[in-house]
Amino acid sequence: MKSKKSFLWLAFLIIATVWILIKRNDTAPYNKINGLIFGTVYDITYQYDGDLKQEITARLNQFDGSLSMFNDTSTISLINQNKEVKIDPFFKKCFNRSMQISQETDGAFDITVAPLVNAWGFGFKHETFPDSAVIDSLRQIIGYKKIKLVDGKIIKQDPRIKLDCSAVAKGYSVDVIADLLKEKGIKNYMIDIGGELVTSGKNPQNKLWRIGINKPIDDSLSINEEIQTILKLSNVALATSGNYRNFYYKGGRKFAHTIDPKTGYPVQHNILSSTVVAKDCMTADALATSFMVMGLDKAKIFIKKHPEINTYFIYTDKNNKYATYFTKGMKKYMKEGN
């Protein structure tokens, strides 16, 4: 009889503790923190009774030490220098997922494209304007099938192969911080790192998180922030890729930063802005870039085979006017109301 009473008392204490924690979380204030990382800005809003900036910064710095192209001692930089390095968990997960997406997109997404990105003046190094001979030469060391991760080491077919995870790592970093907030039991948050984001629960007004998609107006200085449409999101990730911010003109032609790994040249497709909503931001980030490489027609074919992915494209039609294409699933995020 005594043991039964003790059990009931223990159960009551557990339930009461859980209830107190839930109520505390529901009434906790919303915190906002921001800063600089990976050469871009981050803004994070979360509901929690405590300041997590120090922990978030530490986690981002760990991530930077793995996948930053601008950190000479990062895992990816040492791999590009053909130095011995222990593959860390961040790099391993990013590499494996990148290989999967490369296969799914038939090479439209490819993390070996770095030499071409650099040659066109958009990467870590700013080379001179390349001619066809240079492009043809660089294409010999481009291709995701030319690298493998074997027993914790990257194996390259050619030592000149260099990796660039910038089209996926930023989205992955958002997922990493989302995991940190989940570890704390936080349910309401929005993480934005350089425009790639994850949302969960409700905003401080107890409504869905409102996220704007910018109009793709040529604006290399990021001054123009005119909104095309507003999405209302919760418990999903979003990433956008576009050629209206990072570009230059030469000889009367516009050259955008999205490089087609197969041709070696900047894409000339009619998609101006590619926004992807997915379960995780690493996938959304990589696919947003992939669709820019594919072009509208091939992107539509891919989307039909992957109904779990929702997209919003802004493109130029045959009359050179702005037009939009979005999936049926995207409509629920565009509805008025809460």
pLDDT tens digits for range 38-91: 888 999 999 999 999 999 999 999 999 999 988 999 999 999 999 999 999 999
Choose the weakest-confidence range: 41-45, 52-56, 118-122, 331-335.
Answer: 118-122
Buried b (16+ CB within 10 A) or exposed e, 87-113: bbebbeebbebbbebbebbebbbbbbb
pLDDT band at 264 (very low <50, low <70, confident <90, very high): confident
Instruction: Specify the higher pLDDT residue, 150 or 251.
Output: 150
Q: How far is CA 294 from the centre of its chain?
A: 18
Rounded to two decimals, what is the model's pTM? 0.85
Taking only the tens place, the pLDDT of each residue in 191-226 is 999 999 999 999 999 999 999 998 876 544 445 567
Domains and CATH numbers, the chain: 31-333 (3.10.520.10)
Q: Is the dihedral of CA 284, 289, 291, 292 positive or negative?
A: positive
Element (H, E) at 91: helix 89-104
Buried b (16+ CB within 10 A) or exposed e, 12-48: eeeeeeeeeeeeebeeeeebeeeeebbeeebebbbbb
Instruction: Specify the higher pLDDT residue, 160 or 219.
Output: 160
